[in-house]
A and B are shown apart, each in its own frame.
Chain A
Amino acid sequence: MNEIMRLPMTRAWLVLVAATVLVFTLAENNAPARMATITIMLIAAFKLRLVFLYFMELASGVMPWRMFADVWMLVVTGIIIGLYLLAPL
């Protein structure tokens, strides 16, 4: 059990679970809503990075896959936050 707790994927999983609980709490208490929503999307980007690095094992920096993962994460997050901010209130 101790060995499992020391593994990078276990630590990543614990952080991912905590981040999901935080996202849900932010969404439920949404104050102020716009700021909370942007924070939620940034946390989602952080979660994507953890999955890429520690579940899909790109942490060693293997190219070009690592670069693709980073670019995909940035583009998807950028498009969602950008169009969210541009949309009329």
Chain B
Amino acid sequence: MHQPDLSADDQQVVPTLITDQRKLAGDEGVWFFICADITLFGVLFGLFMVERYKAVALFEQSRLALDPLLGALNTLILLSSSWLVALAVHSARAGQREAVGRYLVLSMLVGAGFAVTKVFEYWHKIAAGITLLTNDFFMFYFALTGLHFLHFLVGLVVLGVCWFKSRHEAIDARYVVWIESSGCYWHMVDLLWIVLFPMLYLLHAS
């Protein structure tokens, strides 16, 4: 089996796509998916707000069972993980294989903190007898955060694939498009949480 030279392209500036005037980071198909996905979430956010409008007292009372500190912590975790992925993309464009690998590992490690906090939060709610069926607020809470969590898990796998490819394949223009696209997906996970956190945890009804 052919083993690519892992050291030859280190520190080498990647040609063509990276140095020209291409403006969109990542693949257009991935951007279509991102736009469709965030549109779907936008509709779900709207549905949540309509249901909240119909039952403000219930939503307010239920919201108080959530811990804003955990929500804020998860925001900081996802923002930091996103930043590390952006640094990995920057390093890939410069052909810096070691830096790409390092930033991707760090981004996955930091990002994994989101899973720890979220699982703790779910466990805490379920232990207190709060589930998807408790009321409309918690139906939305579990559905929206659950759907977001699935996106998060897919994102972690995608970053893992990026890391694997960075160890076994050339850091070339093709890889850069791959990591840019993966990075944009990961940033989308971040974007959605930036809305979910204040909408679920912080909409004060007085």
Kindly report which residue of chain B lies nearest to residue A68, judged by CB atoms: B35
Kindly report which residue of chain B lies nearest to residue A26, judged by CB atoms: B202
How far, in angstroms, from A79 to B56 measured CA to CA in the complex? Answer: 16
Are A84 and B203 in touch, CB under 8 angstroms? yes
Kindly report which residue of chain B lies nearest to residue A57, judged by CB atoms: B25
How far, in angstroms, from A40 to B203 measured CA to CA in the complex? Answer: 9
Are B72 and A20 in touch, CB under 8 angstroms? yes
Give the shortest distance, in Å, between B61 (CB) and chain A (any CB).
14
User: What 1/0 mask marks residues of chain A from 38 to 65 whose CB sits below 8 Å from any chain B CB?
Assistant: 0011001001100110111100111001
Residues in A with CB closer than 8 Å to B49 are 79-80, 83-84
Are A23 and B72 in touch, CB under 8 angstroms? yes
Kindly report which residue of chain A lies nearest to residue B79, judged by CB atoms: A16
B194 within 8 A of A: yes
The one of B50, B80, B87, B180 that contacts A4, using a Cβ cutoff of 8 Å: B87
11 A–B contact pairs at CB < 8 A? A4-B87, A13-B83, A20-B76, A27-B201, A37-B204, A44-B197, A47-B194, A51-B187, A56-B184, A76-B42, A87-B56
Kindly report which residue of chain A lies nearest to residue B53, judged by CB atoms: A87
Residues in A with CB closer than 8 Å to B198 are 23, 40-41, 44
B140 within 8 A of A: no
How far, in angstroms, from A61 to B21 measured CA to CA in the complex? Answer: 13
Give the shortest distance, in Å, between B206 (CB) and chain A (any CB).
5
User: What 1/0 mask marks residues of chain A from 1 to 15 whose CB sits below 8 Å from any chain B CB?
Assistant: 000100101101100
Give the shortest distance, in Å, between B92 (CB) and chain A (any CB).
13
Instruction: List 8 A-B pairs, minimum CB-CB distance, nearest first.
Output: A13-B83, A83-B49, A9-B86, A62-B23, A57-B25, A33-B204, A24-B72, A55-B187
User: What 1/0 mask marks residues of chain B from 26 to 69 whose CB sits below 8 Å from any chain A CB?
Assistant: 00000100010011001001100110110010000000000011
A20, A48, A61 — most chain B CB neighbours (10 Å): A20
Are A48 and B194 in touch, CB under 8 angstroms? yes
